[in-house]
Structures are given as C-alpha cells and as structure tokens.
Structure 1
Amino acid sequence: MFMTLTADSGADRAETWVERRRPALHPRRSWASPEPFVRRPTEHNSGEDVLGAMPWTRSASGYQRITVAIDVVVALAVVVAAAALGGAGWLTAGLLGLLATGTHVSFVAALRGYERHNLGDGPAEFQVVLRSAVVVAAVLMAVAFLTPVQVPREAVLVGLPALVTLACAGRYVHRRVLHASRARGQAMMRTIVVGSTVSVRDLVRDLGTAPHHGYLVIGTCLADVVDDEAAQVPLPTLGALSDIPQVVHDHAVQVVVVAGDALGGPALRRLSWALRRAGAELVVAPGLVEVAQERVTVHPTAGLSLLRLEIEPPRRRLMAKAVLDRVLGLVALVLLSPVIAAGALAVRLTSPGPAFYTQTRVGVDGREFRIWKLRSMYVDADRRRAELLDRSDRDGLMFKMAADPRITPVGRVLRRLSFDELPQFWNVVRGDMSLVGPRPPLREEVSAYHDAVHQRLNVKPGITGLWQVSGRSDLPWDESIRLDLRYVDNWSVTMDLMILWKTFRAVVGGAGAY
C-alpha cells in the first residue's frame, strides 16, 4: 500500500474527523490512540493475543520454509552434479555448489522472492528464479576468471538451466498444493472489506470467485450502517468505518481491504497506525479493473504517491513477442508437420473434399486474412451454419454445438485433440496470427460488436488465449470477452508463456473441446 506521509494539517484532521463521525456500532476510539484495545472475547478471539498463532500465519511460514528448502536442495544438487560431470573433483564441485546455492538463495531473498506476498500467486516468483540464475552464472564465471579454481563449463551450461527448470517446477508443484488447500478453505487469510455498499459488494464478489489468492472475506464494515444498504452485501456487517480496528481485534482479522474512495489519504494513514497495533495488514483497492501489476508504477510527486498506468506496451515487448511467435511457430510447424500430414490424409480418405479448410477471418486492426485448419466438417458446413444458429450451445455471438451434425467422425477426433488447429502455425509464421491472443473472429461477428469488444482487434489473434485456458468452449460469451479484454490490456511475454503452458494442460485434459 502506498500513501502520502506528510504532517497532519488541520484540514487533514478535519477530513478524518468527518469520515469517522459516521454511524458506528462500537464505542469510538481515535485511530491514532496508543491505548490498548478493549478485550471482548469472541469465538475468534479468546481475549488473549492469538493473532500470531492464526492458521494462515503458520501455513505461510511453513510455505516460505519449504520454498527456501526447494531452492537450496535444487541449487546444491544440480551445480555439484554438473561440476562433477565436467571433471571437477568432489571437493571442488561441493565448494562450487555451496557458492552457487548461497548466491542463489541470497539473491532471491534480496529480490523479496521469499516474502509471503510474492509466493503462491502470480509470475513474480518464477521471474526471480530466472534473474537469480543469471547472477549465479556471473559469479561462477568471475570465480573462474579471478581465482585458480577450475570451474567446468558444465556447471554453467548444464547446471544453471537445470537449476531454473527444477526450481520453477518445484515451486509450481508447491503452488498447486497450496491452491488445492485454499480450494478446501484452508490456508486462507481472514479478511474484511470496508467502504461504500456498492464498492464493497463488487469487491466481495470478485474475491469470492478467486479463492486461490487466499482472501477469506468474513464480513464488512460499511460507510453507512443502514439495514437496507447492508442487506445488499451477502456477508455480515460487522461495523462501520470507525469500528474497523475493534472489528479486526474482535474477529482475529488479518487483512483489511479498503474498497474505492471510502477513506481519504489522511484517514488511511491513521487507519494504518491502528492496524499496526492490531496486527493486521492494510490493502487498498483503488478502483482500477483488469490491470496487471506490471502496468502500474508509483511516482512520488509533490508529497503524493501517483499511480502511473502503462497505456501502450513498450517497443521491446512488441519485438520480443514477434520473435517468440516466429521462432516457436516455425519450430512447432516443423516438429508437427508429420502429425498435420497424417491428419490431412485421414481427412482426405474418410470424407469427400479437400484436406485443409480456409476461411476469411479478421485480424489486428481489422485486417482480413485467410486462416488455415484441417477440415473437420463436411464440405457444406458453411451453408448449413445458418440453419443451426438457433441451436447453438453458446450465448452471444460465438456459434458452438457440442453435438454439431456438420462434424465428420475424423473431425470429431481432430477437434477433441485440437489437431485441427495445427495448420495455424503457418499463419503465425506468416505474421497473420500470434501464438497467444483472442481467437480471430468472422466478419459477421465483428459487424455485431459493441464498442468495448472492438478492443479485441488491438492485438493479433492467437491460436490460444486466456479464455481458452480458463474454460475453452464452456465459458459464456460475456466471460470470454472479459478475459480477452484482460489479455489485450495486460499481455506480456511472461503471460504468453504461462498461457502456452496452460494450453498444453488443457489440450491433454480435453477440457471444453468440441
């Protein structure tokens, strides 16, 4: 959380006073008061200081320790093995392993890679491992250059790629275990959301759809404690804004999330003082929606903390995505050409018509191109589409049928395995498409777009995308569009790699494919 740390002026005190004079459920107390909290035993708080023994506190500490242990074991094992493979004696290999392990763990810690906020969610912990490996490589090369110690090339060329791969794999498995626990309601942070009724209601709904982030919302503190207003929020109203510190103490709350602009800067500052004594964290939801962390930077200006929002991706990111698309697209096309050839032969032998199907689609900035697919339908499929529109299994503009009569028997197998999409790697190599992006729409779909949906055309369409790995054909139209727009606004090379990995898992599992 960022806030302005300035002297508390008379205007600031007046603003805070007005905010705290709203209706309250508990006795008032200044948020800046050094007095201890009133001991009121509840089912969550026995009357003694129990915050340090909360389940998530123990779980978070254990998660941190296991993450450090993964890094230590992996770094030591792979560097020692790689050095020994390169001909170094076991003593030298052991020393190099200890040096690499110490450097790796220290650098990850320096980059805050072991802090609870950076573990179990988001790509940051994987990025830290990659950066640390670069530093370890530099240290080993410096040892080889500055000392008489012989550092085998295998320690760098084999050991470090193995370190990155195994450390990331270990963290990934560890994360999946944590997410499985959170799906069962375990290892969660007891949370209250505070603010106006509308902002609290929306934020509670959003947090409830993503339990893997670890926020268990147990109640709210509303700006105006009115029965009719509180009824709109599907959680208990535990108090008003002025009651927040006492509610935190009574209910053993670990995180307070302030929604919208219910509290101004001076009030937030004083609330942080009270929560510091109560042992809870303060999180502010500023009202930005579908904005990735990488797009936001904080700029201290005139005693304020200004959020700068990235509007256009930098040129280096565009170039990196283009290189990734062309290189991986060409490699995939070459490696998968036998599969494409076998699929084309099966299509040609089992139904009349060509093996490949082409269709005009709309790409980036509205430019049209010809998309290539293995033909999975009978040759009259386009003509029959109009007859079947009212039988679509999807809402909105996208037409999908789980039991589409136009699909051939071989085509059904190809679709189930997603093999019918493989020729689109040729579109990627040509530059018409990207590996990751929104699906390329038809002309008639684009003509029916409302204003916001046109943003899908700001990036190249992709073979796979965010909504495909979030449910594929099972998602409703509005949710698919929301995920596509999130990708358009927040895409990065790291996000593309994660989507490609999740696509592989979705294809293997066959979820939502028909």
Structure 2
Amino acid sequence: MAEIPVAPFRSGAFDWPAEPLAAQRTATSPLRSPEASAKRTLLPPDAVPAKPGRKATAAWISTHINLLRVTDAVMVSGAVFAGLLISGVGFTPRIESEAGGVLIAATVTLLWLMALEIYRTRDSKVLGVGADEYKRVASATLRIFGLMAIAAVVFSVHGGAAFVTVSLPLGLVALTGNRWVFRRRLTREKARGHHLSRAIVVGEPEEVRYVVQQIARKSGPVYKILGVCLPGARRGASLRVDGQQIPVLSSTDDIARTARLSDADAVIVAGPLPGGNRFIRELGWKLEECAAEMVLAATLTNVAGPRIHWRPVEGLPLMHVDIPQYSGAKHALKRVMDVAVALAALLALSPLLLVLSVIVRLDSPGPVFFRQDRVGKDGTRFGMFKFRSMVVDAEARLAALTQQNEGAGVLFKLRDDPRVTRCGRWMRKYSLDELPQLWNVVLGNMSMVGPRPPLDREVNGYERHTHRRLLIKPGITGLWQINGRSDLSWDEAVRLDLYYVENWSIAGDLLILWRTFRAVFRPSGAY
C-alpha cells in the first residue's frame, strides 16, 4: 500500500484517548484557538462560531422552516385575495356570488399550501442549495393550478379566471422572492459557520481531497468538515488540502465509532472503501445507531443531477446517465430566450451604451468598438464585438509581453497590462466592455450563457477533450465568470466549461444570469 501523504497532527477537539465510550463522553475536550478551528473546517478565521451541537442546529433549522411556512402562507393568501378583489374587473368575469368567491378563494389557498407541503418545498436538503428549491415551488404551483383548471371545466365552476391570470403569476413571484430572502438569511448564517451539517469524509486520500475541495469551493456552504478517515491511517495525522491541514480522525475500520464520538451529522463516502459494497452496507447499519446519515459522493465528473436517474431492477438500484443533447427543442427554447433577453437588454441599456461610446471615443484615439475573431460552435469563426478597452496597436504589442503572461494554460492574461486604456480598466473590472456582445447574441453567434469564447491560438493549444467546449455556442457569461474568471486555474476553467456543456438547463441559465449580476458588482478575477 502506498504511503499516505499526511503530516503530524497532535492536538485538537478529536484527539480522544482510547478509553471506554462512557468515560470519553464525560471527558473535557482540549481547548483550541479560533485560528486552529478555522483551519480545520476550511472556514475563514473570523467566521468560526462556538460549537453549536446537533440539537441546536436542528432547532434553528426547524425554526427557519416554520418561519418560511408562515411567510409562504401570507404570500399565497395575499395572491389569492388579490385575485378575488380583481374578479369582475376588466378582462376577468365576476364570480356568481360573494360567498362563492370566498369559498373558491379559501379552496385555492388551502390546495396551494397543501401542494407546497406535498412537493417538499421546505425540505432541509434543498433549502439554500442549487435551483431545486425554486423548481419544486414552481412545479407545485403550476400543477395545482392545472388540476384546479381541469376541475373548473369538469364541474362548470365560473368566475375563477382571476385566480389564474392574477393569483398564479403574482403568487409565483411572491413565493420566489420569499424563498430568495430566506435563502440569503440561511446562506449568511452558514457563511459564518453556523448551522452547518457536521461531516466526516472517508475514502482514499486523493478522492477525499477532491470531495473536501469541492465542498470548500461552493458559494453556499453546506458541510462543516470535522475531519477525515483514511484506509490504514492512524488518529493524530492530518491530510493536506489546498494548503490546510484536515485532521485524520481514524482509519476506515473505525468510522462508526468516530462519527458517534465527534457527533457528526453525516459521513461522506468519497469513493470505494476496503471491503467493497458489503462494508458500505454494514457501515450504513452502524451509522443508524448515532443517527448520522451516509452520503455517497458520485465520482462521475461532469455529470449533474438532471442527467442521473435511478431505476431499480429486482432490488438492484441502477444509476442511468443520460447522453448529453446538443440540439433539439431545449436548444430552440434557449435560442428564443437568448434573443428575448438580448433585445430587452439592448433596449434598456441603450442610454448606458451611448454614454460608454462617448467615453471610449474621448479617452484615447481609435474606434469605439473592437472586433476580434473568436471560435464558436463546431469550430466556426465569428467576429465578437466589445468596447475598445486597449490602445489601437494592442495586438502588435502582444509579442513583446508574452514573457510576462500570468494567464492559465493557453490563455494570455496580464493583471497590469500596459495596453489597457484608462477607461478600459474600470470597464473591464465591471465587465462593461462586453455589453456589445449582446448584438452577437441577436445575430446567433453567441448565447447569453455558455462556455468562454476562445481565440484561434487558444483552440490550437487545446487537448483532445477540451474541444468539447465547442459543442455549443459560447456565452457572454457562464460558470467561468461567476467562479473567479482569470483567477481560475486552466484545469478548473476547462472543467467548469465542460460541466456546463454537458449539463446545462434553462433553469441553470437563469441562475447563472442572476449570479452574474452579483458578480458584476462584486468583481473577482476581472482584469
């Protein structure tokens, strides 16, 4: 067996002696500094709270969900009441009687709230994580209104049009806004290290390291990593992850006892373990005793949830992975959304575009716009438009700056590029120079969301698998822009683009667009 790359680790809250369990539960854990705690849990030093314990965390989450339940009820009631008031005004027919209207409103409210419960829109596993929470709210709302519309036709119920034309859109907007506010509250608490699920990661060192890295890089924290369990390792060592030391709590032979002693909420299995499937099955049984859930981390890179389907066959759970689709109805819908958003943005931003054009013209000699050849879908070349942010002879001066390149991989980037103009510096910082690319979207060369549009010289340096970035249209924004842009390593930038190419969705695009607005005002890696 290869030597495990760990470093000495002699103190910490989990450095318990080999004593009987009862004695260990009454023992006092050694004190540790906030700096040490922050280092071990991959949280910033000023964001490390006192250990809340599982009960305190569960109580806070329960209160959070109950508050969300109350505010959802207020939003739904308000939307239905608005529909009742507007009934009989303008385009909506009047309900036959006031009592009938109140009865219909009460029924719609009750069924709507029941649907939100049935679809588990407040499940703690989806709150504050990804787009699934919003999808569940939308699905519950649309399906219940669909069923009510069918019932209205079957039972000849008249006067309920206002609930569809007013209550439905108003309620969807209100519920989505309410979830966003509560998500901000939850994310703010978790960013401070509060109310995180306390987790142990187990598996081979490299797989454990990858899982810990991915958890640490998430914009919305979910787990607080207590430590790791490695095959053949001994307590008292540590595993180095991105310059930080994560304590090794035990070997994989003692996972259940370690989870019990550390009061872990979850044990994350990062990959195959010695003993195979039988070991994992028995581990699940042992974890039931300490009420810790077992989480299996899928090692299939670049595969997202919508492409994964579980289909049990005679008691055997089979995971099916759908083949990525690069054409069809979904892509046609994406094109419609691209054109609609781009045209609306060009219209709304036209005064700003005019002001920026004047600033660029007055700032330095040369044209307002800069046209550069880029590589698009299937390797086709197109001219990408930008506001000129460099001097006119920037391309001619590139060769002299090659030795100072700070970019990753085949990219050329220079933080203090002498070719950038005065207005170009702040336009690049806030991505204002990229606004003319909206016209590229209208023309069909680009999409609102997609991989980064590469240069010819970059494509010529691609490895074989990297060419998969060209399977769909490049985007004005994408995962690369909201995750650090030029600060990303080349491998990470490629991984994000390939992930998007194979797993994109309309809902995911909307989420990326929303996060792009935030990234513009809080720029990172833009130069």
**Which category describes the TM-score, using the shorter chain as reference length?**
0.7 to 0.9
The match for 1:210 is 218
Distance 2:225 2:234 in 1: 20
Q: Aligned pair in 2 of structure 1 residues 58, 211: CA closer, same or farther (>3 Å)?
A: farther
Q: Is the 8 A contact 1:44 1:250 kept in 2?
A: no
Which residue in 1 is equivalent to 2:76? Answer: 75
Paired residues for 1:447-466 under 5 Å = 447-466=460-479
Which structure exhibits the higher relative contact order, with contacts defined as CA atoms closer than 8 Å and separated by 6 or more residues?
1
CA contact (8 A) 2:235 2:248 kept: no
How far apart are 1:44 and its partner, in Å? 9.2
Moved more, 495-504 or 412-421: 412-421
Change in CA separation of 1:133 and 1:448 when aligned onto 2, cut-off 3 Å: same
1:197 matches 2:197: no
Q: Is the 8 A contact 2:452 2:480 kept in 1?
A: no
The secondary structure found in structure 2 opposite 1:108 is helix
RMSD: 3.1
User: How far apart, CA to CA, are the structure 1 residues paired with 2:391 and 2:233?
Assistant: 63
Q: Deviations over 1:435-454 (max 9, x none)?
A: 11122111111112233432
| Shift, 1:282, TM fit | 0.9
Amino acid aligned to 1:450: E
Report the AA paired with residue 25 of structure 2. T
Q: 1:230 to 1:114 in 2, by over 3 A?
A: same
Aligned to 1:261: 272
- Report what 2:248 is aligned to: 237
Quote the residue 1:252 is aligned against.
263
Q: 1:268-417 to 2 correspondence within 5 Å? A: 268-301=280-313, 303-313=315-325, 315-417=328-430
2:214 and 2:291 mapped to 1: Cα distance?
A: 25
The match for 2:46 is: none
Q: Deviations over 1:97-155 (max 9, x none)?
A: 43333222322322232222122201111011111221242244346445676545332
Task: Please tell me whether residue 163 in structure 1 is matched to residue 146 in structure 2.
Answer: no
**C-alpha distance in 2, partners of 1:395/1:474?**
8
The one-letter amino acid paired with 2:230 is: L
AA at the equivalent of 2:143? V
For the Cα contact (< 8 Å) 1:75–1:97, is it kept in 2?
no
Give the structure 1 partner of residue 6 of structure 2: none
Partners of 2:28 and 2:109 in 1: CA distance: 42
Partner residue of 1:4? Answer: none
Structure 2 counterpart of 1:102, one-letter code: L
In structure 2, the residue matched to 1:104 is 112
Counterpart Cα distance in 1 of 2:361 and 2:432: 15
Change (3 A) 1:413 1:243: closer
1:398-477 equivalences under 5 Å are: 398-477=411-490
Unaligned 5+ runs, structure 1? 1-24, 28-36
Distance 1:473 1:162 in 2: 40
Q: Deviations over 1:356-412 (max 9, x none)?
A: 221111112211111112222222121122223334443433233444333333444
Q: In the aligned structure 1, how far is the partner of 2:360 from the partner of 2:298? A: 54
Match of 1:86 in 2: 87
**Contact 2:201/2:269 (<8 A) preserved:** yes
Contact 1:83 1:151 in 2 (8 A): no
CA distance in 2, matches of 1:220, 1:44: 22
Q: Secondary structure at the match of 1:361?
A: strand
Shift of 1:173: 1.9
Matched to 2:418, the amino acid is P
Q: Distance in 2 between matches of 1:222 and 1:417?
A: 44
Amino acid at match of 2:62: S
Change (3 A) 1:476 1:94: farther
Asked if the contact 2:324–2:503 (Cα under 8 Å) also holds between the matched residues in 1, the reply is: no
Describe the SS at the equivalent of 2:220: helix
Count, aligned residues:
477
Alpha-carbon spacing, 1:459–1:43, altered in 2? closer, same or farther (3 Å)? farther
Residues 379, 138 of structure 1: alpha-carbon distance in 2 compared, 3 angstrom cutoff: same
CA distance in 1, matches of 2:510, 2:272: 36
- Cα distance in structure 2, aligned partners of 1:473 and 1:407: 16
Contact 1:197–1:229, Cα closer than 8 Å, also in 2: no
The range that moved more, 161-170 or 380-389, is 380-389
Any stretches of 5+ residues in structure 2 without a counterpart?
1-16, 30-51, 89-94
For 1:470 and 1:225, the matched residues in 2 are separated by 34
